[in-house]
Every structure is written in structure tokens, then in C-alpha cells.
Chain A
């Protein structure tokens, strides 16, 4: 690839740092083509590490979580065994294939009784380490080898309390290798302290990448969030880095002279900002995040291939030492289950709980703004009138995800 001209480097200082990204338009077909969607199931969602939960969701031995993964036509049980180890299995009885744990939606949590999971069809029971424990009328089978009939295992690893699974029989990389530089860059943030979570979800009538790309850049912030986040009218999105299929950047908001918060925001947000527990803690950011320790730091938002966008705050943007993430689960080429989850440090007093409700409402309202374009975008793209889309420098993370998508897909 020819070296970028000085003019191009000025226009796209970040993108031109990564020559493999190119600077031209990206193709639209991956966002709308049903055949490519079928291929994605095998080439991406059965090959990569997928986030399915947090360790805090299953704190005790015997606790489980079931995660539906429609794109791989499966439902996954993640369960903590007697030794505390977290295991993942297909939610399927090895007798005649019935689901072992009934789900209540895309994510279900619960606790096993006596470390056993029992199929309601014929009462086969399995222990939390996956072994087949009990079979009624076992003597009437033709020499049943219980050792070979344990639950079907799925690769499961944890990083920083995040539980990932990989549906590949033999994953090419372990989780930390797969995360590349991200594993180190984002280690050490006090994720485990933000144990209060608020999760919103909806089925969006759009391709999963349309939704994910909309959450992968800050270029839209001054327009889409003009109502809910007026203080973000002028943002600075910098610190871009790519790590293989993943990428990251940070958002800063230089203070605007004379801009005062509205009364309720000033009061409720102020309560969090001035508390030791919820107030700004730049010191708790991993050292490579906001390296200059700027006080106008809002959040860092890494994009993990294929379907996770994380946001790490430090308490000086949105009030509260919060982090949040978005996940995009394909249901079909034109349907996506979106899940947005806010994590807060637990409130210690009623007033802190009220203040957190306010911050959480602002997050949710901003997400209502984010999701407002996605169905229109997808519907319009399906016209086929646009073959390619042009991207500016601050849309570099979309460019990187798109590049990785082509690499995984081999097309």
C-alpha cells in the first residue's frame, strides 16, 4: 500500500497509522446480504470468544446462568461447580436432547439444588461439573456408559471477571491470546466493585453490525444526543488504538465556560461526584487509559470483536464510578437482540440510590437516542442504493471491525 500523503495524514491522523485499514469506503453487502449472514454463523460466532456474563452473577458454587445464543442455535449453561470453577455446557440433555434448564428469556440466572441439574423429561440428572449423575431405570438400558454421557462441554474462560465462551471444538487461541493487547490494556479496572446492574434490551429490526457500528464512534454524539447530553456538544475523541480485530478510543469533553448543569442533574449528580465511593477516581483507571489523567475524561470505549462494546468511566463524566456495555446478538440477517447494561458501585444510602436512578435514566435515554437510527439505516440500506459507505477518521473502529470481519469470513 502506498504511503499516505501528508494531506491525508492531516485529515485522518489515526486511520493512516494503521495502513492495513485503508482509507477508502467499506462495502455495504456484509450489512444486508442473507448469504453472508449464514456464513457469519460458522466463521465468526462459532469461532470467536463471546461474552456471556459476569462472575458476580453466579457468585456461589451451584449458581448458574443460561444464555441463549440464537446465532449458534444453542443455549449455554454457565455454572459454578463445587470447587468454584466456572464451566459451560450446551443446555441439552444427553439422553434425547431436551433442554435441561428452562429459560426465562435470553438470560436466566438461578441456583441448582444439591449441585444437580435435572432434565424434566425423564429426570436424568447432571452435576455442576457436567457429569451424568443419575438415570432412572438405568438397568433397562443396553449397558449405559455414564462416563460418556456427561453434558456437552463448551470452552469457557474468564478475564477480569468477565465470562467468555467459545463454541469452536478446538479454539485457535485461548481467551487472553484472542483479546491481544486489550487483555492488558483493560486489566485492573475495578469491574468487580460495580455490582449493581441495570440491563435494557430490545429486538432491533436491523443487522447486528448496523447496531454495533452505531455504538462504535463518537461522531454522532453532538447530533443524536443533543437533547439528553447537551454537555457533549463539543467532544474530543482520541487515543485510538487497534489490537488485531479489536480497537479502542477515549472520549473527552473540554469544559465549556459558563455551562451550568440543570438543577436536578446538579443536585443528584453532585451527590455522586462528591462521594468517596462514587466520585471521580482517575487513580483507578488502568494506566494506559487516559494516560495524562485529564479531568475532562468521559469514558474509554473499547470495541471487542465480534459483538461487544465496553465503556469505562471514572466518575467525572456521567456521575458515578460506572462502566457499561452493549452486546449485539444476531437473530437473523435483519434482526438483532441488543442488550445495554449499566454497572454501578452499590449505593450506601437512599439518596445515593436516587442519584444512581437519575444517572441510569440519562444512560437509558441516551440509548433510546442511539437506537433511533438503526432500523431506518437498515431499511434504507436494504434498498441496495448504496454499495459502499465512506468513513471519517473518528469512525476508525468501524473500519477495523469491518476489516476483521472480512478476515474471519475469508471473503
Chain B
């Protein structure tokens, strides 16, 4: 695999392929199929590094994040969207007792976060 993450964050490399996705729709599809174990590992790896990650990203301008940081940015967005599953839903990939998430269409779903 290419070195996709800045050096300080190489410990997060195992999560890049599954989670560092550029738009909400793709990240949602990952959330809906991730296993309990996937959620737990991703959360446990990323939560302790959250401050460091966001501080690193904040040296850049939103809408204009360079290639060397974009994967970390997408990973952070995936974390923000996945964290409730770990903290609130016992790592279930669906919101408990909810409407079918796949039936919600996001108008912005295919918008690339850059």
C-alpha cells in the first residue's frame, strides 16, 4: 500500500482502505456493512488520536486540503459518523429499532469532501 497518511498517523493505515472514503454515501455504505469488530478497532485506534488528528488537519484550509492530508481528513469524517455506533449502539451497524437507513437519500451524498 502507498504511504497514504502523514508519518505521525501511520498507525491508522489499516483503516484507510475501508473507511477513508470521500463522500457521505460511500461512508454510509461502509457503516452499514461494518462488523462489531470493525467498529471497535477503528474507534479504539482513532479516538485517542482525535485531538492530534484534528490539530494536524487545521493547518489546512477547508475546501483546499492537500493530497498529503486528504486521506486523514476523510478518515476523520468517517470517524465522526461512525462514533455514535460505538458510543450509543453497542457497535451495531444500524441505529437500533430504526427506519431502514438505506432508504434515506442524502441530497449531498455524492458530494466530495475536499
Q: Which residue numbers of A lie inside 8 Å of B, CB to CB?
A: 107, 197-203, 227-228, 230, 262-265, 267-268, 271, 347-355, 357-358, 361-362, 364-365, 367-372
Contact = CB atoms under 8 A, between A and B. Distances in A.
A263 B77 contact: no
A350 B106 contact: no
A365 B98 contact: yes
B45 interface: no
B54 interface: yes
A202 B105 contact: yes
B41 to A, nearest CB: 15
B1 interface: no
B12 interface: no
Contacts of A267: 50-51
B13 to A, nearest CB: 19
Contacts of B95: 227-228, 365, 368-369
Contact of B107 (A201, A349, A350): A201
9 contacts: A198-B108, A199-B107, A200-B104, A228-B95, A350-B73, A354-B76, A361-B80, A367-B104, A372-B99
Given A199-B107, A364-B104, A355 B80 contact: yes
B53 to A, nearest CB: 9
Given A202-B99, A361-B84, 6 more contacts: A201-B104, A201-B107, A350-B54, A351-B57, A368-B98, A369-B97
Interface in B79-114: 79-81, 83-84, 86-89, 95-99, 101, 103-108, 113
Contacts of A199: 106-108
Given A201-B107, A262-B87, A372-B99, A350 B65 contact: yes
A59 B38 CA distance: 43
B79 A264 contact: yes
Nearest to B72: A350
Nearest to A223: B97
A368 B24 CA distance: 16
A350 B97 contact: no
Contacts of A352: 62
A179 B103 CA distance: 33
Nearest to B69: A350
Nearest to A264: B83
Contact of B84 (A350, A362, A370): A362
A353 B89 CA distance: 23
B10 interface: no
B9 interface: no
B105 A200 contact: yes
